Amino acid sequence: MFYIVTAYHAEAKPIIEYFGLKKVVKNSRFQVFAGEEVALVESGPGVVASACATSFLLAEFEATDRDAVLNIGIAGAKNINLKKGDAILCHKIIYHDTKRAFYPDMIARHDMKEGVLETFDFPVIKGNFPEDRIEGDAVDMEGAGFFEAASFFLPPHKVHCIKVIHDYLEGVRVEPSFVSDLIRKNLPLIEGFMSSLESIDYLFSVGLSGKEKEIIDKLAGNLKLTFTMTHQLKNLILFYLSKHERLPGELYDFLNVRVNSKSEGKIYFERIKKLLC
């Protein structure tokens, strides 16, 4: 599942349309839209709002390590080498207020430019704020809050900020339809990146399947296995699967056994151990 956090509806609108998301009707502080593979939340502006909305979305949808989360929105550029409309995948996000920096794992292939994002608690306008105190190539008001919150839930190769350059910090008025256009034009690039993340997740998923977990749970219950024995059983199953494509048929016979005492369970456990070793 991909989770997306935007600040404004103008940023969310093209994404909602592109992925065919539907509004989730639920009494909540945030506007949420979801489809089969993508869910989006509109946070509103600011670091705290972004952190809250990110936490809300990831908790509400019970995000796991297999999911990824993106913060997509517009930003102002300090670096004049970045063009208006360029999508920037941020390899470093600095929270200006504390100078704390966050680093996503830059592992998945993409065709965007890269840069450093600096998040401020206030709109940065050239002339009102000394330019030499801006460390980032681009400036926003959400990235650091989003990243810190998302990092509580997901690994760093699954948390990313993508910012589309909107202005050069001249303090220009933000026109919603222009913002939507900027985001819309970059969605194929963003989708390409999402596809890389998805492939990596598919190729590198680790652990037992749902069916194997069910077998362990059932055996543990029926045979009254202790916590340690259940853990050993899981490890033995993984050991067996490292050498064989599927679990041995005889293991399924044990699923029908129900014991009356732990000592009886221990006898069956030893038999399973022999079978899997």
Partner 1 sequence: MKGLKSCFVKSFSHIYVEEGIEENPLTKEILKKFPKALKVRIKHYKDVFCRPRQNFFVQESSRKLILAAKKGELLYRGPDICHDFGNENFYYTSPALNCIYSCDYCYLKGMHPSANLVIFVNVEDYFKEVEDILKQKPLYLCISYDTDLLAIEGIIALSAMWIEFARGKEDLKLEIRTKSANYSAISYLVPASNVILAWTLSPTEVIKKYEKNTPPLELRLKNIIRAIGDGWKVRLCFDPVLYFENWETAYENLISRTFSMIPADKVNDASIGVFRIPRDYLKRMRKNFPPSEIIHYPYIETGGVYTYDEEVKGKIIEKLWSLLKKHIPEDKIFIL
Q: Is the dihedral of CA 25, 26, 32, 38 positive or negative?
A: negative
Q: CB of 4 within 8 A of CB of 70?
A: yes
Binding of partner 1 at residue 270 (CB under 8 A)?
Answer: no
Amino acid at 143: G
30 vs 193, beta carbon nearer partner 1:
193
Report d(CA 63, CA 68) in Å as an integer: 8
Binding of partner 1 at residue 221 (CB under 8 A)?
Answer: no
Single out the residue of 80, 203, 228, 261 in contact with partner 1 (rule: CB under 8 A).
203
Binding of partner 1 at residue 248 (CB under 8 A)?
Answer: no
Binding of partner 1 at residue 191 (CB under 8 A)?
Answer: no
Hey, what's the torsion of the CAs at 197, 2, 69, 173, to 10 degrees?
A: 110
25 vs 277, beta carbon nearer partner 1:
277
Q: CB of 65 within 8 A of CB of 154?
A: yes
- Which window, 32-40, 43-51, 73-81, 102-110, contacts partner 1 (CB under 8 A)? 102-110
Lookup: tokens for 51: 């952190």
CA distances from 41 to 34, 178, 265 (A): 9, 20, 49
Binding of partner 1 at residue 206 (CB under 8 A)?
Answer: yes
32 vs 93, beta carbon nearer partner 1:
93
Single out the residue of 130, 177, 261, 277 in contact with partner 1 (rule: CB under 8 A).
277
Binding of partner 1 at residue 59 (CB under 8 A)?
Answer: no
Residue 193's contacts (CB-CB under 8 Å, 6 or more residues apart) are 89, 108, 109, 110, 111, 112, 160, 162
Binding of partner 1 at residue 101 (CB under 8 A)?
Answer: yes
Minimum gap (Å) between residue 42 Cβ and partner 1:
26
For residue 216, give the 3-state DSSP assignment. helix
Minimum gap (Å) between residue 260 Cβ and partner 1:
27
Binding of partner 1 at residue 246 (CB under 8 A)?
Answer: no
Q: Is the dihedral of CA 77, 79, 81, 87 positive or negative?
A: negative
Report d(CA 162, CA 72) in Å as an integer: 5
Single out the residue of 17, 111, 114, 270 in contact with partner 1 (rule: CB under 8 A).
114
Single out the residue of 128, 195, 209, 226 in contact with partner 1 (rule: CB under 8 A).
195
Minimum gap (Å) between residue 97 Cβ and partner 1:
16
Q: CB of 74 within 8 A of CB of 88?
A: no
Single out the residue of 242, 260, 261, 263 in contact with partner 1 (rule: CB under 8 A).
242
Minimum gap (Å) between residue 49 Cβ and partner 1:
23
**Chain residues 61-100 in contact with partner 1, contact rule CB under 8 A:** 65, 91-92
Report d(CA 168, CA 172) in Å as an integer: 9
Report d(CA 89, CA 104) in Å as an integer: 10
The residues of the shown chain that bind partner 1, judged by CB under 8 A, are 65, 91-92, 101, 103, 105-110, 114, 116, 151, 154-157, 195-197, 199-200, 202-204, 206, 232, 235-236, 238-239, 241-243, 273, 277
